[in-house]
Chain A
Amino acid sequence: MTASATARAVLDAVVDPEIPVLTIADLGVLRDVQEIDGHVEVTITPTYSGCPAMDAIRADIVAALRGAGYGDVAVRTVLSPAWTTDWMTDDGRRKLAESGIAPPGQRGPGPVLLELGIRCPLCGSTDTRLSSRFGSTACKALRVCNACREPFDHFKSI
């Protein structure tokens, strides 16, 4: 294992502070890891412009790497290319569904809103309706299942 792969393995264990079933790698927030002579530079991108978790993610990255012996760490935040839910890993989507949050669908081209056939993570029915476009965090919408009547969070496509 190269040194850079070791740092990468450490970062693969850093979880999202708001949805801790996902790692920042699952989310696609972790964009790049470079290591040169013990200096580690980590590149991350925010999910939403105003995502309040970014400061916590930055601090968690530094703490995780320090814990693994990397003293010289820089975390760089980039906006471009803009984050999209298409970057979420299949593993991440599975973990979301298992924790009761409907994963995002694949996005069409352009900033269009097309959200069809969203499956209830509790009973599996696709007969669900939108309750509110904005949920407990910026990245989620609230939906209700017409079959089992339970409300659930949906990680919306962006």
Chain B
Amino acid sequence: MTPADAPPPVATYALRLGDDALVLAQRLSEWAAKAPELEEDVALTNIGLDLLGQARSLLAYAGETVGGPGGQARTEDDLAFLRGEREFLNCQLVEQPGGDFATTIARQLLFSAYQYELYLALQDSRNDTLAAVAAKAVKEVSYHRDHATQWTLRLGDGTEESHRRMQDGLDALWPYTAELFEVDDLLRALVGDGVAADPERLRPAWASYLEPVLVEATLDVPETSRAPSGGRRGVHTETLGYLLAEMQYLHRCHPGATW
């Protein structure tokens, strides 16, 4: 790709954030009718719905901004259903399988605490669309974070079995959090322009939210030097392909299908 063909950096940034929300929404939808209690079926799918709404706004904006072959705008549906695995720019944390309920709660805690700080900061973005999406989403995510926190406390400081599962979930997913705070050239430039949130500033706030929650839940902060990475460049774990196959099946079999 020559620099002239490269999408505007802000479109790539919107895609990264939108893909995070879209892929996690799809993962949460897998809990419909399978959660340990009816309230959780409703809660996890409602959280997924909020994320899907955020993804739609972000992908629609990315599509208008990036354009497609011949400079035509791409719709949110084009981006969600017609891109291949290597074109998705989500972090690897959100694509990991839901695992058991404790693992899903661990991811919700780690990711919603990150997304809360992200959207809080992005409200002040110089990009009006990103600021508007963030101002709306931060209120939704405050409920997601609270939900995950309450469950983390209940499971972590619960029975021996629930504690073990909660700790296992945290241990499995913790390495993937490093990628949330990675900085590359694109991000550095957008941060410099006042468009993107600075990951290096998000990390301390994220950590200081999590620490007392984990202490109260009697959980240990996992110690690991593993830090898988690559999602922002389209490099994913094997599991994303299966997720996309399910999410994109209908649209690809019946192009242009509407409800």
Q: Which residues of A contact B (CB under 8 A)?
A: 46, 48-52, 78-84, 111-113, 131-138, 142, 156, 158
A-B contact count (CB 8 A): 80
A134 to B31, CA, bound (A): 15
Residues in A with CB closer than 8 Å to B57 are 49, 79
Candidates B43, B53, B120, B142; contact of A50 at CB < 8 Å = B53
Stretch in contact with the other chain, from B63-71, B98-106, B129-137, B168-176:
B129-137
Please determine whether B49 and A52 come into contact, CB atoms closer than 8 angstroms: yes
Q: Is A48 in contact with B140, judged by CB distance below 8 angstroms?
A: yes
Q: Write the nearest CB–CB distance from A137 to chain B, whole angstroms.
A: 8
**Contact residue among B39, B136, B138, B139 (Cβ-Cβ distance under 8 Å from A142):** B39
**How many residues does chain B have at the interface if contact means C-beta atoms less than 8 Å apart?**
31
Cβ–Cβ contact A49 & B146, under 8 A: no
B interface, CB within 8 angstroms of A: 39-40, 42-43, 46-47, 49-54, 56-57, 120, 128-129, 131-133, 135-140, 142-143, 146-147, 150
List 22 A-B residue pairs with CB atoms under 8 Å apart, sorted by A's residue number. A48-B50, A48-B53, A49-B50, A49-B53, A49-B56, A49-B140, A50-B51, A50-B53, A79-B57, A79-B132, A81-B135, A82-B139, A83-B136, A111-B138, A113-B142, A113-B146, A131-B39, A134-B42, A134-B147, A137-B46, A138-B140, A142-B39
Contact of B143 among A84, A113, A131 (CB under 8 A): A113
- The SS class assigned to the B binding surface is helix
Most buried by A among B120, B131, B137, B147: B137
Distance between Cα atoms of A52 and B137 in the complex (Å): 15
